[in-house]
Amino acid sequence: MKLRERLQGKRMLLTGVTGFVGEALLHRILRDLPDTHVVALVRPKGSLTGRARAEQLLSKPIFEEIRAKHGGEAAALLDTRVTVLEGDLTDVPELPGDLDIVIHCAGDVSFDPPIHEAFETNVLGTERLLRRILASGAEPHYVHVSTAYTAGRRRGAIPEAPVEHNVDWRTEARWGQALRDRIEETSRSPGVLSRLRREAEREHGRAGPITSAHDTERRRREWVDKKLVEAGRERARSLGWTDVYTFTKALGERVVEEVGAPLPVTIVRPSIIESALETPYPGWIEGFKMAEPLILAYGRGELPEFPASPDGVVDIVPVDHVVGATLAAAATPPPPGKPAYFHICSGSRNPLTFSRLYELVRSYFDAHPFDMNERGAVRLPTWRFPGGEAVDRLLGMSERAHKIADWAVRHAPRGERVRKLARELDQQQRRLDFLRRYLDLYRPYAEAELHFTDDRTMELLASLDEEDRRVFAFDTSVIDWKHYLIDVHCPSVTKSMRQYDVIRRRRGRRAPTVAKELPQGSDILAAFDMDGTLLSSNVIETYLWLRLPELDRVGRLREIGVLLRKLPGFIAAERRDRGGFLRAVYRRYQGADLAELERIVDEILTPHILERVSGAALRRVRAHRAAGHRTVLITGAIRPLTRPLAPLFDEIVAADLATDDWGRCTGFLTSPPLVGEARAAWLRRYASTHGFDLTRSYAYADSHSDLPMLRAVGRPVAVSPDVHLWREARKGRWPVEDWKTSGTVSRLTLPDRDLTGEPAS
């Protein structure tokens, strides 16, 4: 009897229909089993109901031919062939009592999820589903889609039988669920918080304590996730499994064997599921599975080695073979209490070794290389399979070298060359993170010496009608690996990356830019920093501009000498706390006549300051004014130095030097300098008081300490940024611009004349 006839009129519950295997199963049922009705368990997501998600699923291209038979509408197909039950494995709804078959293929398929999530889905979710089935009064054939790697870190032949272990799934599930609370509690301990806070302050201290606090909390959450992943991995390996995924899938099988004992139960165990060989079409795949990230990384020249034995077997099976075997098993229920097990694999009769996989993938990229534009075709690495330990040592050396180089770049003077180095280091960091992640994840699989037997699966295939053996094919011995990898799989998984490369080349590698025409609006602010943004200057330089004209030649040399001795301390203070740094510099104004400083600016420094202003900066300020925006200069510089720029701005916020009764500077300020988070707070207050819309407003700054101000507006722009700010701008997709002064202006140039009219030294 054909499968179509054996499954005619059956009501089949599917879980995981929005996943890779579930979608392929649904497609095959709707296409090839027209008299089988599907009941789909679909969880709502965001604002989408379960039915809306099912409609989206049936609107995909692979269902086009099936939709055509129902007027071309996904809704009509849904109404005719599918009943949607809204819910998920954390809250399984009541199930109908007329189910004939349940195929459970939902689950957490990540290799390294946090341990509580893996137990919640793969173990407890399976238990909830089974108990709902039993409570419904139905006695369906329960088909559980697991993985062949539930065998763990064993070696040799793995039979199609229960996995031998004595691990209590109830105890482990309770421990896994409780661990999250324990790790959360530990993350809030003084020792952990102190370390994370110090790390955050080292990176964001200049921006302010609240910015550092937010980053501390981000680090704490990441620490919790990391510890939960590590806990799952180590517990799994301590019990003989490769990772928490295979560990919890093995315990899920034990749940099925115990809780599902009253039912006919079948457990199917695919190996590594990859793209379709034929159905829905050659190369069909949804998302990245196990091999795709490695294939793409190798093709882009970013995977120099792999920790596998060249004679080790990589057990790949196309998804349409998994679907065919699963449906054949679903139509062949065993007696209740005697579970049937089927391995869906290729290594038993058609082994693909890692060395052969490497040869075929390299052959594909030799013929069809990724085009890196001006750099030409990618140079492919040559794998020598030196072993996992050697690969780990090589990666560790690269990670240490990168850490040293990154420290040097972060402490180097800013400039386009430094930002270019930072960009290259960031790209290298992403590659190293990728390699570390996949080395840790895949090394146990790559070094495994498992041999999955599939005798029962072949018996199942032989029991099928001849036409079904063709339509629902799952004999992996017929796969031609050269054809599959070179003509089917690699073209499919590289297609999206090649399309992305075309778009990238078309757009170029330009960062986002400010619109050429600014929007009109009187409710828009344009806030500008001064030193390093409008002017190619810093606080030390501007101090010397003002202070040296007051001193004689000996005094000037003495002042410059003192500053040179104090410079390392100033730099360290500026990196810790910009407000403290400004106070330290401004203490040196003690005894200066404020009116005299203003006269020096008006009579000597104005031309000098204006020639330091970038032409691009002047054009941008004028463009904002022409668009009706209110222009604001927010600077930590002292107010006298802003006098030449007053005509450009509607509002100037600067540091005011305190004076005594005779107009002499005391060395203190009248109020704390406006830096870091204080600038953001001033902007918010100003906008609220005067009716400006910060979501439409602009801010321009060059320093990481200005990060809060940039985040306060909807249109931030990083101008000639330091490495810290440049990285934040890249994360936020902010425009990055270089506003350079004229090439004739030297950073060593001092004002032309002193107060006596004599040339300055």
92's CB contacts (< 8 A; 6+ apart) are 41, 125, 128, 129, 132
Nearest CA to 493 out of 702, 295, 334, 647 is that of 295
What pLDDT score does 94 carry?
Answer: 95
The per-residue DSSP string of 182-230 comes to: HHHHHHTSHHHHHHHHHHHHHHHGGG-HHHHHHHHHHHHHHHHHHHHHH
What letters, b where the CB count within 10 A reaches 16 and e where it falls short, cover 539-568?
bbbbbbbbbbbbeeeeebeebeeebeeeee
Burial class (CB in 10 A: 0-12, 13-18, 19+), 228: buried
What pLDDT score does 506 carry?
Answer: 60
As a whole number of angstroms, the distance between CA 460 and CA 466 comes to 12
Half-sphere exposure of 590 (CA within 13 A, CB side): 8
What's the pLDDT tens digit per position in 710-730? 999 999 999 989 888 998 999
Strands (E), 96-198: 101-104, 141-145, 155-158
As a whole number of angstroms, the distance between CA 265 and CA 262 comes to 9
Name the amino acid, one letter, at 68. Answer: A
C-alpha pair distances (Å), 573 with each of 205, 567, 721: 11, 10, 19
Helix 50-58 with 74-81: angle, nearest 10 deg? 110
Q: State the alpha helices, DSSP H only, in 656-745.
A: 677-690, 707-711, 723-732
Burial class (CB in 10 A: 0-12, 13-18, 19+), 289: middle
What pLDDT score does 507 carry?
Answer: 57
Nearest CA to 314 out of 276, 344, 357 is that of 357
As a whole number of angstroms, the distance between CA 639 and CA 534 comes to 15
- Using 70 as the pLDDT threshold, list the residues of the chain that sit under it: 372-376, 501-511, 550-552, 567-576, 742-761
Please, are residues 345 and 271 in contact by the beta-carbon 8 Å criterion? yes
What pLDDT score does 503 carry?
Answer: 64
As a whole number of angstroms, the distance between CA 402 and CA 297 comes to 19
As a whole number of angstroms, the distance between CA 245 and CA 233 comes to 9
What pLDDT score does 576 carry?
Answer: 66
Per CATH, 1-167+239-271+315-348+453-478 and 525-737 having the same topology is answered yes
Rg (CA), the chain: 34
What letters, b where the CB count within 10 A reaches 16 and e where it falls short, cover 199-225?
ebbebbbbbbbebbeebbeebbeebbe
Determine the Cα angle at 150 with ends 146 and 155, to 5°: 145
What pLDDT score does 575 carry?
Answer: 63
User: What pTM was estimated for this model as a whole?
Assistant: 0.82
As a whole number of angstroms, the distance between CA 749 and CA 565 comes to 21
Nearest CA to 163 out of 106, 259, 237, 240 is that of 240
Q: How many CB atoms lie within 10 A of CB 502?
A: 11
Structural tokens at position 36 = 């089988």
Structural tokens at position 83 = 């009943």
DSSP 8-state symbol, 613 = B
Helix 553-576 with 578-586: angle, nearest 10 deg? 160
Burial class (CB in 10 A: 0-12, 13-18, 19+), 640: buried
As a whole number of angstroms, the distance between CA 513 and CA 337 comes to 66
Structural tokens at position 250 = 């093995």
* CATH number assigned to the domain covering 1-167+239-271+315-348+453-478: 3.40.50.720
Topology of domain 525-737, CATH: Rossmann fold (3.40.50)
Helix 244-259 with 209-238: angle, nearest 10 deg? 60
Domain boundaries, the chain: 1-167+239-271+315-348+453-478, 290-314+352-448+489-508, 525-737
Nearest CA to 450 out of 240, 111, 163, 152 is that of 152
